[in-house]
Homo-oligomer: A and B are copies of this chain.
Amino acid sequence: MAAAEPIIKFGIIGCADIARKVSRAIRLSPLSTLYAVGSRSVEKAAKFAKDNGFPESAKVYGSYEAVLDDPDIDAVYVPLPTSLHIKWAVLAAQKKKHLLLEKPVALNVKELDVILEACRSNGVQFMDATMWMHHPRTAKMKEFLNDPENFGQLKSIYSLFTFAADDIFLEGDIRVKPDLDALGALGDVGWYCIRAILFTADFELPKFVIASRNPVLNKVGVILSCGASLYWEDGKVATFFCSFLANLTMEITAVGTKGTLRLADFVIPFEEGKASFSGGVKSWFDDLVTGWVPKPSEHIVTTDLPQEAQMVKEFSRLVGSIKSGGSEPEMKWPTISRKTQLVIDAVKTSIDKGFESVEVIS
């Protein structure tokens, strides 16, 4: 890092469980510092700061507003329930705080557009907190997928993310409450599947989506399990399945005309320092079809910083450039968020309309 790069002062709004992990990431990242935390209860904020390695000097606030009003804070990380994003994300942007926003970023693209417009008009960086996008493995996967000689033209994508929620989660977690995270499993685990599909398709939007039959909803109508297929103009097909009701599993399989990418831990690598993916290239059989020649290769990628710290580092780098160099916000990140949200909206609409085909219109 250049000596001149500024250290970004983070405020955290809310003490959600995931904020523990991001606090550690802010500590680990070389370009950021844990500057403040705000909760509706100052005691809770103080306990959070103490438990999560905040420096002695860190500010502890008894409200979210107080964090946004602190003029020394450069950026906020917002892990609040999705229904609160529109209020707090917009307010943060208006207070000129750069915005690292938990996913799902909004209840729908209309809300997201309000948030993104607030970021744009206030000149702040927007990034959603999809950590795996920042793992160096992801960059290697992109190289593999973009290689016309060894991967070729993408034909089929599958993505799945499930975990087996316990009864406490299924009764009380914000992700099963219609007034908090109304998108349920689609907004939580489904967000990652859709992001994975878009990533694999180089962020080309599908033309239309059709939700799978048999989604599972809880008593108050929140999705616990669903899936959909996505279709592109050029014939590519993607399918995903996401659920709170099945064993923890995560997977991307992308098949091109010449190559195949597979991995089973795309959201959270099996271990922190090392991650891999399988890359098959021009796979075929031996003469009697009794084995593969060549077999797929395992591509191993090590990392000094965990993916969430890579995320904080990249976000901080962008914020630093804006602060010190007069750079404009990097539009790649809000663009990707918006595409993900557009597909989520289309899947939700397809479910609501009885599994109709729904066009994805940007």
Contact = CB atoms under 8 A, between A and B. Distances in A.
A159 to B, nearest CB: 10
Q: Tell me how many chains of this kind the complex includes.
A: 2
A155 B246 contact: yes
Contacts of A160: 156, 158, 253, 255
A310 interface: no
Contacts of A357: 213
Interface string A196-210: 000000000000001
B251 A231 contact: no
Interface in A272-311: 272, 278, 280-285, 288-292, 295-296, 306
B292 A270 contact: yes
Interface stretch (A90-98, A99-107, A116-124, A235-243): A235-243
Interface in A104-153: 152
Contacts of A330: none
Given A272-B291, A291-B272, A248 B155 contact: no
A335 to B, nearest CB: 26
A248 B291 contact: no
A356 B18 CA distance: 43
Contacts of A20: 288
Contacts of A152: 247
A227 B235 contact: no
Contacts of A272: 290-291
A256 B357 CA distance: 28
Contact of A268 (B237, B258, B259, B289): B289
Contact of A229 (B213, B216, B249, B289): B213
A255 B210 contact: no
A322 interface: no
A83 interface: no
Given A210-B213, A269-B291, A290-B21, A158 B249 contact: no
Given A237-B241, A243-B156, A262 B259 contact: no
A214 interface: yes
A345 B160 CA distance: 27
A84 interface: no
Interface residues of A, number: 64
Contacts of A283: 163, 247-249
B262 A264 contact: yes
A227 B210 CA distance: 14
Contact of A247 (B243, B255, B269): B255
A265 interface: yes
A270 B289 CA distance: 10
A209 B243 CA distance: 21
Given A214-B231, A270-B292, A278-B264, A246 B255 contact: yes
Contacts of A59: none
A29 interface: no
A296 B264 contact: yes
20 contacts: A20-B288, A21-B289, A21-B290, A155-B162, A164-B257, A214-B231, A227-B239, A239-B239, A245-B257, A246-B260, A247-B255, A247-B258, A247-B259, A247-B260, A247-B280, A248-B280, A268-B285, A268-B289, A270-B292, A272-B290
